[in-house]
Structure 1
């Protein structure tokens, strides 16, 4: 099943166009035009997003700050950072804060969907480990 993706960028045209292109490929897509909107979309829980595609350079709350808040509140959600201004420093900061990976803008749809698929796979692997640990815990408790 294709990932549920939240696109976050202050460039409305980019977000709206990319959302349509991803929806045409079967993805469920949400959009946000800044960090606070992204956090609201994740917190509402109307859609349980697998992957957030997040721009680094946004006015107000930048992408690295949004990333930290997303990972603190939703640690299993994977975040792919998009930047037209890649620097080693921002990449290191993002990776330390839990970003799955970085892509340079403009990125082609094939690269983005491949990265989304990898991120979704990692999220599912983490979820499966949690479920297995819970199941082992239940089995061990019943053995007492």
Structure 2
């Protein structure tokens, strides 16, 4: 399956170079040039992002803040810092904040490609799980969602929400708990945000003529049987 990588880098020459090399290696690549754009792309990208390559010193929101928000949005998505900040304290701060790897500039593209291969091997080993419910199949190792063997593209938020419901299948989960666990406790949106995203998900994973896989629990929230 084609892996989707997001490059967050405000120096366009570096971004263009890394993007070209990754495309040559058959990766699907998206780019963002500031912290706010990075979060917007991360949330709505289809298919969902598999790895983020993140510079620290970027406009609007710095890399550390972007990392924290991405990890709240999707805790299992690997993030690799690509930054000129080579002070040991910065490396410790980045890794403690949730970064999965830290590469200092300048770097050789061969090293970056090797680190990516390592991330994917580790991810496949640690996070491998397959959920099969009716016509739905989710392969977490391949970050793949299939409906009747046909691939479906989900945004990052939709994918994270679906995994959350699958991990708690059989449980009736309140909208408030879904907001806290999927959007993060600092999210200031309303509970109808959950309703909207469940509606988006149903539109992509439900099959006409069959009951929805995501059941509405009246007065509570949602569950997957």
Q: TM-score range by the shorter chain?
A: 0.7 to 0.9
Which structure has the highest helix share of the two? 1
Q: 1:130 to 1:102 in 2, by over 3 A?
A: farther
Query: Which residue of the partner structure matches residue 110 of structure 2?
Result: 110
- The number of residues matched between the two structures is 136
Deviation per CA, 1:25-66: give whole Å up to 9, x if none: 111111111111111111103121111000011122111111
The answer to whether the 8 A contact 2:36-2:60 is kept is no
Deviation per CA, 1:93-114: give whole Å up to 9, x if none: 1111110111111211110011
Higher relative contact order at CA 8 Å, sep ≥6: structure 1 or structure 2? 1
Gaps spanning 5+ residues in structure 1: where?
Answer: 139-144
RMSD of Structure 2 on Structure 1 (CA) = 2.2
Query: Which residue of the partner structure matches residue 3 of structure 2?
Result: 3
The answer to whether the 8 A contact 2:4-2:50 is kept is yes
Please report the TM-score for the alignment, with normalisation by the length of structure 2.
0.55
Please report the TM-score for the alignment, with normalisation by the length of structure 1.
0.83
Which has the larger Rg?
A: 2
Structure 1 stretches (4+) deviating beyond 2 angstroms? 120-127, 129-132
